[in-house]
Structure 1
Amino acid sequence: MTIATLTLNPALDVTTCTEKVRPGHKLRCTAPRFDPGGGGINVARVVTHLGGRAMAVFPSGGPTGATIVSLLEDQQVPILPVPIAGTTRQSFTVDEGRPGDQYRFVLPGPELGADEQARLLDALFGVADADHIVVSGSLPPGCDPAILKRIAERCHRAGVKLAIDTSGPALAACEGARAWLIKPSLREAADLLGREITGEADEMAAAHALHDRGFAELVVISLAERGALLVGENAELRLPAIPVEAKGTVGAGDSMVAAIILASVEGKGIEEALRYGIAAGAATLMTPATELARKEDVERLYAGTVS
């Protein structure tokens, strides 16, 4: 079966390094690295790298859109780019020193017309053999967050499992959507509930609250360096992070989502799927810039968590 991903606001990720970021100075940088970016695209890349079947659906416009298409083709990631009138955005990351702080500059991206949004959804639901759909990343300017509920409704009608990984008003609009899975961070969960979350018991209670309010059947809350927790109808689970030397943070959450879903597709239970997801997130932390998890690292880290 195929995991279809939708990235409504993709980006060409540009990464470079300079010795010191200082205002008012010309900052001499290293040669840039270019990667195809955006939540759903990253999920499709990781699924493909881990040996699964993915199809990345995304809007593509202008020279940056063409570059993303070329990069994904080079990585042999199956894609369905949908042409748009606007120009696909860039995201710019500057690493200070080796190692050092990381500065991330994210541009807003083009608006999508109603016809462009409709063609994207038609492409998404036209993916053959797709039994899981992942909608991940931010929404483009002017896009109604209600689009996520419309996608959820179509998934319910088609019998397809939907995973949503977004934030802000887009995530808030998913209340009652009854997706299969959502993956907020602890801060995002607190924003959804409108209160602080303090202590491990409260973290688990927050996940239950999001489940009970109909956000998803499975609520995975990322706890950063403390791991992750999962709550479902008959499931409650907390797993620690895998300690690694972090070289970058870009794409770690997308890698976790990709591995959880791939493990589920392959028939692993909930606990093993979460372990695999945590391993993929840790493996991405080990890679520099916007590089994502390597299969050999994921498998090695995952094996170390299984007794």
Structure 2
Amino acid sequence: MILTVTPNPSLDRTYELPALERGAVLRAARDRVDPGGKGVNVSRAVAAAGRRTTAVLPLGGPEGALLGSLLGAHGIEAAGVPVTGSTRVNVTLVEPDGTLTKVNAPGPDLSPAEAEALLAAVGDRSAGADWIACCGSLPRGLPPAWYAELVARAHRAGGRVALDTSGAALTAALRERPDVVKPNAEELAQAVGRPLSTVGDAVKAAEELRGRGAGAVLASLGADGQLLVDATGTWFGHAPAAAVRSNVGAGDASLAGFLAAGGSGPAALAAAVAHGTAAVQLPGSVMPAPSDLHPAAVTTTDEVPLDRVLSEPAS
């Protein structure tokens, strides 16, 4: 069972537009609403694979009620913590060439009592969890050290933690030695305070995060593939994508595949790449089902292309 924690979940509304024209009245060709937030997306991908998952998250207002209902429709047990503020609504505008314009709301301001209730809910639900995936930005009211406290409590209870966040929250949590961290290239560059121009730069940055406390680093490099750096070595994984429709949630799908495949080693990396590649070929934030995966197309190797220039250098 994979337990996910999403401190700042959302309803994700996606509109596919014939063209994006500033100042005009636009009519969407298609639209959809999905339960959102990085941890929620991990749960959705796990559930799509037929695995058990529980999502711990704050829920507030009619938006929170709808989010909880959508999670149930996806086969996800929602361990919702009631909060005073309303759950946020994020909007994604998709153009025919795949260009995305995203508007992310800030989310509610959680009180100290609500922040503690969220931590307590994780503790109540973590027994029997193979992994606890803590994902996404922190809402207003939660200090940067909130994830660090969660990791510390989980470790004291014998749990394994995968962390997908950035900035000050990541820096603080590294001191509590999360078992896996999953940055993308931009977040990895931000964490080490320097630009990353090549795969070799990304490897060095991942090694630095391990030196600061991360047990393993699973780094998404976009179209250039994914890296896994842990105590046993470094692996590189890649798979071609026929057509990119949306990259929303692709990193979350990757983390779900990685954890569902055991959370360590090249086989788990291959699962991460297969899930991420499938996700970018689906609309909105749709998570891949087993029929969408093409594991035979994935290449993993310990011969990492260190000199390969990243297609979108992180700065």
The separation in 1 between residues aligned to 2:52 and 2:17, in whole angstroms, is: 37
Q: Report the count of equivalent residues.
A: 299
- Mapped partners of 2:201, 2:19: distance in 1: 40
Amino acid at match of 2:174: E
Aligned partners of 1:244 and 1:285 also within 8 Å: no
Unpaired segments ≥5 residues, structure 2: 301-315
Equivalent residue, structure 2, for 1:281: 276
What is the CA deviation profile of residues 34-79 of structure 1, one whole-angstrom value per residue up to 9, with x for unaligned ones? 1000011110111111122110011101111011111111111111
* 1:261 and 2:259 matched: yes
What percentage of residue pairs aligned between the two structures are identical? Answer: 37
Check 1:304–1:146 CA distance in 2 against 1; reply closer, same or farther (3 A cut): same
Counterpart residue identity of residue 58, structure 1: L
Normalised TM-score (structure 1): 0.93
Please say if residues 69 and 81 of structure 1, whose CA atoms lie closer than 8 Å, have aligned partners that are also in contact: yes
Amino acid at match of 1:282: T
Return the match for 2:245 from 247, 250, 262: 247
In structure 2, distance between residues paired with 1:22 and 1:121: 43
The match for 1:297 among 288, 292, 296 is 292
Distance 1:199 1:99, change over 3 A: closer
Change (3 A) 1:8 1:192: same
| Aligned counterpart, 1:231 | 229
| 1:184-205 C-alpha deviation (Å, 9 max, x unpaired) | 1122111111112233332211
Q: Is the 8 A contact 1:64 1:88 kept in 2?
A: yes
User: Where does 1:1-307 land on structure 2 (aligned, <5 Å)?
Assistant: 2-30=1-29, 32-96=31-95, 98-127=96-125, 128-214=127-213, 216-264=214-262, 270-298=265-293, 301-305=294-298
8 Å contact kept, 1:264–1:273: yes
Which residue type is aligned with residue 279 of structure 2? T
Aligned-partner residue type, residue 124 of structure 1 = V
SS of the residue aligned with 1:90?
A: strand
* Contact residue 252 and residue 281 of structure 1 kept, 8 A: yes
**Equivalents in 2 of 1:68, 1:220: separation in Å?**
29
| In structure 1, distance between residues paired with 2:189 and 2:257 | 25
Deviations along 1:131-186, one digit per CA (max 9) or x if unpaired, are 31011011102320101110111121111000110122222222322100001112
Aligned counterparts of 1:292 and 1:228: Cα–Cα separation in 2: 18
Of residues 2-11 and 14-23 in structure 1, the stretch that sits farther from structure 2 once superposed is 14-23
Flag structure 1 segments of 5+ consecutive residues without an equivalent.
none
Query: Hey, what's the Cα distance between the residues in 2 that align with 1:257 and 1:211?
Result: 18
Give, in angstroms, the shift of residue 273 of structure 1.
0.2
Displacement of 1:306 in angstroms is: 7.1
C-alpha distance in 2, partners of 1:188/1:7? Answer: 18
Q: Distance in 1 between the 2:57 and 2:204 partners?
A: 35
Which amino acid is 1:163 matched to?
Answer: A
Q: 1: distance between equivalents of 2:98 and 2:4?
A: 33
